[in-house]
Structure formats: structure tokens, C-alpha cells
Structure 1
Amino acid sequence: MSHVIPPGASSRLYNEDLAPTEHRTWGFYSLFAMWMSDIHSLGGYTFAAGLFALGLGAWQVFLALVAGIVIVFVLMNFSGYAGQKTGVPYPVLARISFGTFGANLPALLRALVAIAWYGIQTWLASRAVIIIALKIWPELQGLTENNFLGESTLGWLAFLLMWSLQLLLLRNGMETIRRFQDWAGPAVWAVMGLLVVYILVNAGWKISLDLPGGTAEWGVTHAFFAAVALTVTYFSTLMLNFCDFSRFAPSRKAVRTANLWGLPVNFIAFSVVSVVVTAGTFTVYGEYIYDPVEIVGRIDSIWALLLGAVTFAVATLGINVVANFVSPAYDLANVWPARIDFRRGGLMAAMIALVITPWNLFNSPVVINLFLGGLGALLGPLFGIIMVDYYVLRRQHVLVRDLFREQGYYTYTGGWNQKAVISFIVSAVPAVVFALVPLFGALSAFSWFIGAIAAAAVHYLISRNDTSLAESVAAAAAEEADPGAPWTHVPGRGEPGEASGGRGTGRS
């Protein structure tokens, strides 16, 4: 792997994939399609119906979804604008607050969550492949009756097929991924449209939207706000690394408009359709079916089964690529830029996801609840620190070139900002406790918010009088005012989102 390193940059911090991009090919539609791919998944399908288990009625669930996704929209814009302005991916953006080498802490924590779910989602997508295979070739049933490392021969073959298909997206890096997302998200909408019409026609257009749920253990008000918080938490991973995608956007307006249509509008519409289809299954089949693949499987048509299963397999790949593939590819590249680029990082993530046998993770309540639940609780503190540092303490003034230097404003102590680490530890402990300890069950849904707010507050209080921070802000503001500054990338001088004065050699 070879690339030209700009003057002053370090091979320990720089490669072309991590560098500020100059390829602004992700316009409104590509970002909007990315959100469709993220939301149009089996998890997204069942999410809204799952909120009824909190003890809420249809209107309460709807209002909670609206409130939650509006908060997500606002917070996602913060991450998106930062990526669009600096042109750098999440692990490089984290260098601003955590330090040039300290950024590996938030990067690897995000990567761990992503790789585990990458394997799990790939395995879930393979379930649709098995349904198709057995429908077309019933004689394959014999391949489902053995067991090797917790999975049958047919299960392994289906998993390896979906695993391999995702590696094809590595061919041209982010550009191949963009082209995949451009059609994957809308394809699911087309099938969902057919599915909702089929269910409504067979139900005689008479359904009840009040799905069966649980009881509000701590009252309806608590259940409502818990539903709002869970909606935000559902998007917590991408709130950290949405800049991996928005860095390729031509303007803030493209980011904002795509987020508006892709999040509040698209998410609410998809949630409503999901609830309508789930509710209709009771009228049609006499029971509530929460898995759309199973609904399609009950349609007496091999073509309907093929269309539905293929579509939902594609949908699962879509969310996997967006939420669980791109992030670890960049995060692992950040560890050793001289040897690991985006493609190698993605390949490493895929290999790890394979050897951990994700079906065993998914089938273990201890792993899902403790390991992944605990890691998920750590994402809130990371978001709080990175965003308060960028928007409040630095007021968006960053010397991008220093993010790739071993001696610069973001070196701190040996490449680590100890104040950010302290802020993270202090806030991460209560976030994990509230998320996992049964005694604090009433607060578990709010662990992301607790961690994010606590981390932001602590980091602000202990960093606001930092003289080196003030110096870096002044230097960055001065350089932004100088169009002739060397090796910098500061979009936004003149028209929003225009790159100016850069020699960064980003590759999309």
C-alpha cells in the first residue's frame, strides 16, 4: 500500500482514506438512500411494534416515535456537519478531543460494537437465504440436521454466501457502497408497499392498530419517555460515525435535507407501515406476525417468496454496510494507517465477524445484554465529549492538518488528551451501571442520555480554561480566514460546503 504523504503529516496518522476528502459525490439522494438502507431492516421493521410492549397505545407510540426521531435528526446534524466541514471520518474527528493516538479508544470501542453486530446481521440475512433454498430445493433439508460450531451445513453455506457478497462492496471503497445504497433502500419500500396492500386487501381494510403490549411498570409517562429515549438509542451508533458518510457531501444543505427526509419523514412512514402490516396479520392469519419474511413465506406463491426473501436479505445487508461495515473499516485503518487502508480494515472486520461465530453471540442472552448492552452504553459518553469539544469549546475551528501530525495542537500528552479520558471514565461508569444493573431498571432506557450529558458537562467544565485549546482555536480561526494557508481543508468559505485551498488526497 503506497500513497503520498503531505509535508508535515505522519505515516502513523495518515493515509488517503483517512485524509480530508475532495470527492464530494454523496449528494442529497445518496445520503437519503443511505438512511433508507439503515432503517429498512428487520430490526427497523420490528422496532415500532416492539414499543407497544412498554404498555403504550397506538397514539402514544406514534408520538414517542415522532419526538424521538426529531431528537435524532437534530443530533445527527451535529455529527453530519462536522464531517462535512472537515472532510474526515469518525476516528480522525475523534482526534480533536481525544488526541491523535487517544482517538483509538473511541474508534475501537465503536469498532467492537460494529463488528459484533456485523456478524449477527449477516447471520440474520442468511436466514432468508435458507428459506429460499428449502422452498426451491426441499431435498436440502438434510443439510440442516447436523451441527458444526453451533450451525448446520446449510446454515454455514448461507452465512458464507451473505458474508462474501458484502466483501464485494470493498472493490471501490465508499463509491461502491454509495451505488449499492442508491437502490437497496428504495427496493425495500417497493416490496413493503406491495406487502401492505396485500395484507389490507386480505384483511378487508379493517384492522386495529392497537397491538398487544405489556404493562407500564413505572407508569405511562415513564413508558412514553422511555420509548422516546429508545428511539434515540436505536440510532446511537450512527450518531457517532455519520461523519463517515457526510464527509463526502457537497454542502451542509445536502446533509440537512437528506437527514430531514431520511430520518423523520422516512422513519415515521416506515414505522407506520410496519405497524399496519403487523396489525393486519392478526386479521388475516389469526396471530400477530412480527417477521416480514415469515409473512411473505405464508403467501402461496414461489415468486412472492423469492421477491420478499431476497428483498429483506438485501435490506439486512443495507443496514449492515451502513451501521456495521464502514465504521470498523475506518476505525481499524486508524490504528495503523501505514499498513491498513479502508479495504484492509473492512476485510479485517469481516474476518473477525466470521471467526466469532455470531449465531452463538446472538443466542446468548449474557452476551447480548451484558457485552453488547454495556458497550452500547459507552457510546453516549463518546458522543457527548466529541460534540461538546467540537461545537462548544472549539466553536468548529479546527486545524485539520494538525490531526495528522505527531507534534501539533492535538498531540496533548503523548497523543492522548487526559481530560477527555477522565471525562469518559467518569461518565461511562454510571451509564453502564444504569444500563445493566437490574436495580436501576427504571433508568436503563435513558443510559445513553445520562452518559452523553454527563460526559459533555464534565469535559466542558475541566477543559474550558485550557490555554492550549484557546490557542488552537485562535490559530484555526486565523487560518480559516487565509485562503492561502498550506495543506488545509476548511469548507465553508464562500458557499456552504465548498472545499478550498486543499491538497488532501482523499479517496472515496
Structure 2
Amino acid sequence: MSSTIQFDRQPDPGLYNPDLAPVPKEKRNWSWLNYSTIWMGMVHNIVSYELAGSLIGLGMSAWQALAVVIVSNIVLIGAIWLNSVCGAKYGLPFPVLIRAAFGYKGAHVPVLIRAFVAIFWFSVQAYAGSKAVGAVIGLIFPGWISLGTIHLLGASLNDLISFAIFWLVHAYVILHGMERIKSFELWAGPLVIVLGLGLVVWAIHAAHGLGPIFSVRATLSGGHFWGTFFLSVSGMIGVLASLVLNIPDLTRFAGSQRDQIIGQAVGLPVMMTFFAFMSVVITSGTVIAFGKPIFDPVQLLLHFKNPIVVLLGAFSLLIATVSVNVVANVVSPAYDLTNLLPRKLNFVKGGMISILIGVLFAPWAWYNNSNSILSVIGAIGGTLGPVAGIMIADFYFIHRRIYDVESLYSKEGAYTFRQGWNPQAFIAMILGIIVALIGLFVPALHALYAYNWFLGVGVGAVAYIALMRIVRGVNHSNTIIPTTNLETVSLQQDEI
């Protein structure tokens, strides 16, 4: 990304390059439609489908499963909206904005944690999508299945080949930069809806109407149900919790605050609930049609024994997975790594390094162990929750929605703290993580783990506000006022 921004003082080259610079006002051209389709691509994916469908497998009714999705999406959109404003206001990405709370050196810690989580999710999504690649190849080449008897690096040879092919598709999209990603999302997200609607029609036909689907009884009740309900909500939030942090990476391109607010409202809670509704209906239909819940969409497609259905369905799943993986799990670590080495890296190089590291997670070795996936996802949400709470608290309560943009690129500015580190932010983050995850390690407090994301956000935010006001006395009278007069960061822009 090129930038025409002119600073009053020279940005430190260790904190700045064109990909980390504020997006000029004339290049902020993403409309509400772009954000809607981007979110469609991020929520319409195999892992989201399987997680929503697995709620039926946990013993919930269709209505209870939908309630989990609705509650989690209401919470998510609220947190995402709160953290979207600063990105759209200043045109800055997450790795730069986080410097205001953690310091220019300290920011590397949450940035690298966020990058690590995103790369982990890249490997998960890439392996899930590669299953669709294998299904298509198996239709074309009958001998494909025989390669499953050959094992290498802990995986069958056909799985490794499928993964490699799918990895190359990601590399192709990344190499063409953010503009190609924006164009790709315009048609990738809606395509999956077409596949989902087709499967919904099949499920309703197989069940002889919606009535039987929604009459399937739940096997959970009382305290067991509520514990599972809130743990599932935390798990659903955990799938997209990392986006709460790096949503400025996307909203920095917004034409206005209204564009990002409306676009994300349509794209996340509305489309995620609709997608989950389709997943729940389809999974409930498989219980009636096959006697067991099938929440792996690739396995469901193979049950149809129809090459055309499998080919079209697999293609849709491939596009869906590339869509979510690039936007949710590559854009962020690409900026994160660029922030770490701004002199040597840019967006494309950072993205390619991210997907190379993703291979090292070897997802084929553990992906099918579904017994602990909800707990793992919840732990991810609990770890990132405190950082989200700190970011939101810093922008709205400590700095009152006003950042000194030039200081974010300086080692001697308003966010230097103690030689680039803000101890208060780290204390708040550690406290938030401890409270969020304590239920995993202390049996007597296990019930708290169902609320881990909420506890992490709340404790992180409250502790940070208290520590900052006690140690530094930040209040209305000494809120930091920006010294820059850049048009692109005008305080009046897009205020609502």
C-alpha cells in the first residue's frame, strides 16, 4: 500500500513503513457492501458450519443451538463495533493502534500472540478445506483412495497432496494484495449461501418438513444445559475472538463509520445466524435421514453419491475456506509480522511467511480429535479477551477517543511509557488471562470457564482502567490531545 501522508516529524523507521502508515482519505473506499461480503466469507466456512452443527451432537435442540449462535453474535458485534471505530477514524491497523496501550515495544507481545492464534486458525481452516480438495480429486482419479495407505509426516499421502494444493491457492490470492482480496470477497461469500440453501431444501425434503427437524428433543436440561450453553457461547465467540482485536486492519479502509457499522451488522450477526440456521437444519436433517448427526459438510456431500453435487459443493466449500482464511487468518499476521520488521517486510511477504509457518502446526495430526475442540476454542477466546478489553478501555476511557497519531510512530512520543513498555497493560492482561482460564486448572472453579471470554474482557478492561488512573492519574483534565493536523486523522471525520 502506498501512502501520501506527510508527518510533522519524521516517523521512526523501526516503527513505520507504507503498509503500517495511516490510509489516506482518498484510498478509504470500502463500502458497506464490501464489509457485508467480507463477513459473509468469514462466517460461511467449514469450521463455523461444523461448530454450529456440533451443538446438535452435544444434545441441544435446534432452537437451543440457534439461541447459542444468536447470543454469541450479539456479544461479538458489540465488541467488534467498539474496536472498529478507531481503525475507521485514523486509518490505522491493529499493530499500530495497540502501541497506545502497551507501548511501542510492549505492543509486540499481544501482536505476536494475535499472529500466533491467527496462524493456528489458518492451519485449521486450510486442513478442513483440503478435505474438499481430496473429495474432488477422488471423483476424478479412482486410484486416489489407494494413496491413503502411504503415510508421510504422520499423514496419508493423499491428505498431504490435498493440503499442498489448497495451500498454493491461498498463496496465489495473497500474492495479489488487499485489492484482489476485496474483489474476491464480493462473490466468494454469497456463493456459499447458494450451496447451503440447496442442502436446506434437501434436509426439509428428507425430514418431510421443518416440523420434524425442530421437534427433535434435546437431551440436556437443568444445570448441565446452562453450563454447556455458556461454554458453547464462549466457544462460538472464540472462533472469531481474534477478529475483535484486528478488525481495525479492515475498517481502516472504510469510506465512513456508517459503512463499516452497517456492513458489519449485515455481514456478522444477520448472516452468521442465517448460516448457523442452515447448519442446524441440515444437521438435524441428517439425524432423520441417516440416523446420526453429520456435521462435516464434506462427508455429507459424499453421502449423495452424485459426482455433480460433490463437485459443485466441494468448489463452494473451497472458495468459502479460502475466503475466511485469507481475511481472518492471513491479513492480521501479515500486518503483525510487518510491524515486527518494518524495514524488511511488507504485507505480501508477511502473508507468505504466515502461511509457511501455518504448515508447521501439522493440523492433520490432531484435527479429527473433536472431543476437546470446544475447550481449545474457548481457551483461545479467553486468552485474547483481556487484550480486547484493554484496547477498548484505552480508546474510550483512558484517551477519550483521541490518539496522537504521530506518537504511534515515535520512540519518544506520548506512548513511550517505560522505555517502550507499559507495565499497567501487562498486569491487566495477565490478571485477565488468569481469571479467564482459572477454571481449567482449579476444579472447584471449573464453572467459571464457561464464561472465560466475558471474564477476560471484563477483568482486562477494569484492571487496566484502574491501574492507569492510579499510577498515571489519567482523567478528563490530562487526556492526551493529538498534535498532528493531518486531514486523514481529523477528529471530526465520521463522528457519529
Say whether the fold is shared (TM-score over 0.5). yes
Task: Give the superposition deviation at 1:114.
Answer: 1.1
Task: Give the superposition deviation at 1:203.
Answer: 3.4
Residue aligning to 2:159: 155
Q: Please tell me whether the aligned partners of residues 95 and 102 of structure 1 are also in contact (alpha carbons under 8 angstroms).
A: yes
Q: Please tell me whether the aligned partners of residues 9 and 401 of structure 1 are also in contact (alpha carbons under 8 angstroms).
A: yes
Task: Give the superposition deviation at 1:389.
Answer: 0.8
The 1:175–1:438 alpha-carbon spacing in structure 2 relative to 1, beyond 3 Å, is farther
Q: Distance in 2 between matches of 1:329 and 1:399?
A: 24
- Secondary structure, aligned partner of 1:218: helix
Q: Which sections of structure 1, spanning at least 5 residues, go unmatched? A: 480-484, 498-508
Residue aligning to 2:10: 8
Q: Which sections of structure 2, spanning at least 5 residues, go unmatched? A: none
Task: Give the superposition deviation at 1:309.
Answer: 0.9
Please say which of residues 95-104 and 296-305 is displaced more in the overlay: 296-305
The 1:46–1:123 alpha-carbon spacing in structure 2 relative to 1, beyond 3 Å, is closer
Superposed CA offset, 1:431-457 (max 9, x none):
222245555332222111111111111
- Secondary structure, aligned partner of 1:415: coil
Residue aligning to 1:482: none
Q: Which amino acid aligns with 2:92?
A: V
Residue aligning to 2:386: 381
Task: Give the superposition deviation at 1:49.
Answer: 2.9
Superposed CA offset, 1:68-99 (max 9, x none):
21121111101111211121111111111001
Please say which of residues 300-309 and 214-223 is displaced more in the overlay: 214-223
Q: Distance in 1 between matches of 2:478 and 2:182?
A: 35
Residue aligning to 1:447: 452
Kindly report which structure 2 residues correspond to 1:367-378, keeping only aligned pairs within 5 A, or say none. 374-378=379-383
Please say which of residues 285-294 and 98-107 is displaced more in the overlay: 285-294
Residue aligning to 1:29: 33
Q: Please tell me whether the aligned partners of residues 257 and 494 of structure 2 are also in contact (alpha carbons under 8 angstroms).
A: no
Q: Please tell me whether the aligned partners of residues 230 and 446 of structure 1 are also in contact (alpha carbons under 8 angstroms).
A: no
Task: Give the superposition deviation at 1:231.
Answer: 3.4
Q: Distance in 2 between matches of 1:214 and 1:362?
A: 26
Q: Distance in 2 between matches of 1:189 and 1:491?
A: 39
1:174 aligns with 2:178: yes
Task: Give the superposition deviation at 1:243.
Answer: 1.1
- Which of 104, 109, 114 is equivalent to 1:110? 114
Task: Give the superposition deviation at 1:213.
Answer: 5.3
1:424 aligns with 2:429: yes
Q: CA RMSD in A?
A: 2.7
Superposed CA offset, 1:259-286 (max 9, x none):
2111221111111111111112233333
Kindly report which structure 2 residues correspond to 1:232-381, keeping only aligned pairs within 5 A, or say none. 232-362=237-367, 374-381=379-386
Superposed CA offset, 1:173-212 (max 9, x none):
2111111111111010011112212332343325322556
Q: Please tell me whether the aligned partners of residues 79 and 243 of structure 1 are also in contact (alpha carbons under 8 angstroms).
A: yes
Q: Please tell me whether the aligned partners of residues 237 and 381 of structure 2 are also in contact (alpha carbons under 8 angstroms).
A: no
Residue aligning to 1:144: 148
Superposed CA offset, 1:304-328 (max 9, x none):
1100011112212222112211111
Q: Please tell me whether the aligned partners of residues 52 and 214 of structure 1 are also in contact (alpha carbons under 8 angstroms).
A: no
Q: Please tell me whether the aligned partners of residues 382 and 453 of structure 2 are also in contact (alpha carbons under 8 angstroms).
A: yes
Please say which of residues 215-224 and 374-383 is displaced more in the overlay: 215-224
Q: Please tell me whether the aligned partners of residues 235 and 377 of structure 2 are also in contact (alpha carbons under 8 angstroms).
A: no
Q: Distance in 1 between matches of 2:71 and 2:373?
A: 27
Q: Which amino acid aligns with 1:473?
A: T
Q: Distance in 2 between matches of 1:219 and 1:84?
A: 42
1:473 aligns with 2:479: yes
TM, length-normalised to structure 1: 0.89
Superposed CA offset, 1:108-148 (max 9, x none):
00111111221121111111111111122111222221111
Please say which of residues 190-199 and 345-354 is displaced more in the overlay: 190-199
Residue aligning to 1:131: 135
Task: Give the superposition deviation at 1:488.
Answer: 6.5
The 1:300–1:53 alpha-carbon spacing in structure 2 relative to 1, beyond 3 Å, is closer
Q: Distance in 2 between matches of 1:379 and 1:72?
A: 13
- Which of 68, 72, 85 is equivalent to 1:81? 85
The 1:163–1:63 alpha-carbon spacing in structure 2 relative to 1, beyond 3 Å, is same
Q: How many residues align?
A: 490
Q: Which amino acid aligns with 1:428?
A: I
Q: Please tell me whether the aligned partners of residues 398 and 473 of structure 1 are also in contact (alpha carbons under 8 angstroms).
A: no
The 1:62–1:179 alpha-carbon spacing in structure 2 relative to 1, beyond 3 Å, is same
TM, length-normalised to structure 2: 0.91
